[in-house]
Amino acid sequence: MSKNNRSEGMTPLESRASTGLSTIFALRMLGLFLILPVFAIYAEHLPGGQSHLMIGLALGAYGLTQAIFQIPFGMASDRFGRKRVIYFGLLLFALGSFVAAGAHTIYMVMFGRALQGSGAVAAAVIALTADLTREEHRTKAMAMIGVTIGTTFTVSLIIGPALDHAIGVPGIFALTGVLAFAGMAVLYAIVPNPTETRFHSDAEMVPARVRDVLRDAQLLRLDFGIFTLHAILTAMFVVIPFALRRTGNLPVNQHWEVYLPVMLISFALMVPAIIIGEKKGKLKQVLVFAVGLLAFSQFGLVFLVNSFWGIALLLLAFFIAFNVLEASLPSLISKIAPAASKGTAIGVYNTTEFFGAFLGGTMGGFLSGRFGPSAVFLFSGSLAGLWLLMSLTMKTPPKVSSKMFHLPEMDAKQAQALSDALAALPGVAEVTVVTEENVVYLKVRSQEWDEEAALKVITGR
């Protein structure tokens, strides 16, 4: 493959696949996020919902089943086909949504939420994205999915309260089921069928590499970080809706008046922070600042949870930190994880994220019911404070990007010779030849990297 061919833009098929799969993610995540700002107040009126612990368990239940099933679903997609597994997962998600919509007790809602999470298609969607895009455009396709999730989260917080006023939480759950069927329609009508389904180490879990990933202290810091971030997010939404209603005399359908300016301002401030981190090589400094801001927001809420304007200002601090961290942590995973273990590292990272959501809902409900809302924020602030200590001792991440090239079949001796030749090139920081996949993964320093020289080594021309 020539340098020019690798530099060209996405093909129409790649663009269609990336757009379609991003839309599936958006439709699914929209359904999950829409209930966050309104669920707690709805749930308190259900039989069993007077217990904040039950509210927290119902809110976080999807995280537990999502964490349990996402890796098996990804592995099943290798065996049974990407689309079949995604259809099945979306069907489970729709079924859980309709169960929650028709529920008359908090326990049935909890069951519906757990069923929603069991349709864990994220890993299968990522694997299908890898099947349908060339390696030089895969990062762009994954970025489209990431932006879609972030935008969906923001939109959900703003329109969730309005939808609650229009159709109620049961209606939102039912709409979520309809959105899951819309995702199936997108998968059928827009997403192409892959001409070849194969394993991708950069996008999928490799069980044999899990132990190495779990032994990497740098990656464990990031895993703890995403665990903490989503634990705090879920715990907050067990108590924040009640706090806004109590301190601002705001009915839940008007909570968007708080979330809209908070999200817009936080997004505007996130962009320069990410640019500084990525372009200036200051990702560690940006991370430490954001984690510090996260801890500040939670400890501040311990004392200001009875002040409407205090809550609003500290929500702004929280979402600035949340948006910066949500955008920068995946980039740090890619830079730190060994090239051939990136998919495994991301799989572990996503699993800890969902476990965090479950723990956050459970602890948020328990602490709120037993000790009051300040205890929830003390717990969240302590988690964030521990993360801050861990991030201060993190090594500065290398300023590298990942590359992947296809190879002809070769034996171990040829692979070692190729690895040595590539490692000697300027700008090459890491080389991993995977003969089982006939690919080579590189981490390169962009300013020194000469792709044409690497292609000559790989092709022997």
CATH of residue 354's domain is: 1.20.1250.20
pLDDT score recorded for residue 136: 67
pLDDT score recorded for residue 312: 96
pLDDT score recorded for residue 1: 36
Looking at the structure, tell me whether residues 187 and 304 fall in a common domain.
no
Give the H/E segment covering residue 328. helix 308-336
pLDDT score recorded for residue 461: 60
pLDDT score recorded for residue 5: 43
Looking at the structure, tell me whether residues 254 and 174 fall in a common domain.
no
Half-sphere exposure of 440 (CA within 13 A, CB side): 28
Looking at 204, 232, 259, which one is the last position of a domain? 204
Instruction: Please check whether residue 43 lies inside any domain of the structure.
Output: yes
Looking at the structure, tell me whether residues 291 and 382 fall in a common domain.
yes
Looking at the structure, tell me whether residues 191 and 221 fall in a common domain.
no
Work out the widest C-alpha separation in the chain, in whole angstroms: 73
Instruction: Please check whether residue 6 lies inside any domain of the structure.
Output: no
For tokens 């809110």, name the residue.
Answer: 59
CATH of the domain at 454: 3.30.70.100
Which tokens sit at 218? Answer: 């740098």
The list of the chain residues with pLDDT below 70 reads 1-8, 135-136, 202, 461
Looking at the structure, tell me whether residues 414 and 395 fall in a common domain.
no
Which tokens sit at 368? Answer: 């709120």
Non-local CB neighbours of 412 within 8 Å, separated by 6+ positions: 435
Looking at the structure, tell me whether residues 193 and 309 fall in a common domain.
no
Instruction: Please check whether residue 155 lies inside any domain of the structure.
Output: yes
For tokens 């009508």, name the residue.
Answer: 189
Q: Are strands 428-434 and 439-444 parallel, antiparallel or unpaired?
A: antiparallel
Q: How many domains does the chain have?
A: 3
Smallest CA-to-CA distance from 295 within 393, 395, 378 is with 378
Looking at the structure, tell me whether residues 123 and 92 fall in a common domain.
yes
Instruction: Please check whether residue 54 lies inside any domain of the structure.
Output: yes
Looking at the structure, tell me whether residues 180 and 74 fall in a common domain.
yes
Portion of the chain with pLDDT greater than 90, in percent: 55
In whole angstroms, what is the distance from residue 350 CA to residue 358 CA?
13
Task: Write out the residue range of the structural domain in which residue 93 sits.
Answer: 13-204
In whole angstroms, what is the distance from residue 120 CA to residue 131 CA?
19
Prediction pTM value: 0.90
**DSSP states of 377-408 as a string?**
HHHHHHHHHHHHHHHHTSPPPP--EEEEEE--
Looking at 347, 379, 399, which one is the last position of a domain? 399
Looking at the structure, tell me whether residues 325 and 393 fall in a common domain.
yes
Instruction: Please check whether residue 279 lies inside any domain of the structure.
Output: yes
In whole angstroms, what is the distance from residue 202 CA to residue 441 CA?
8
Q: Are strands 401-406 and 428-434 parallel, antiparallel or unpaired?
A: unpaired
- DSSP code for 194: P
Phi/psi of residue 117, each to 5°? -65, -25
Looking at the structure, tell me whether residues 297 and 408 fall in a common domain.
no
Looking at the structure, tell me whether residues 172 and 276 fall in a common domain.
no
Looking at 372, 399, 426, which one is the last position of a domain? 399
Express each pLDDT in 295-341 by its tens digit: 999 999 999 999 999 999 999 999 999 999 998 898 888 888 887 78
Which tokens sit at 39? Answer: 């669920």
Instruction: Please check whether residue 8 lies inside any domain of the structure.
Output: no
Instruction: Please check whether residue 314 lies inside any domain of the structure.
Output: yes
Express each pLDDT in 396-437 by its tens digit: 888 887 787 878 888 888 888 888 888 888 888 888 887 777
pLDDT score recorded for residue 8: 64
Non-local CB neighbours of 378 within 8 Å, separated by 6+ positions: 298, 299, 302
Looking at the structure, tell me whether residues 347 and 198 fall in a common domain.
no
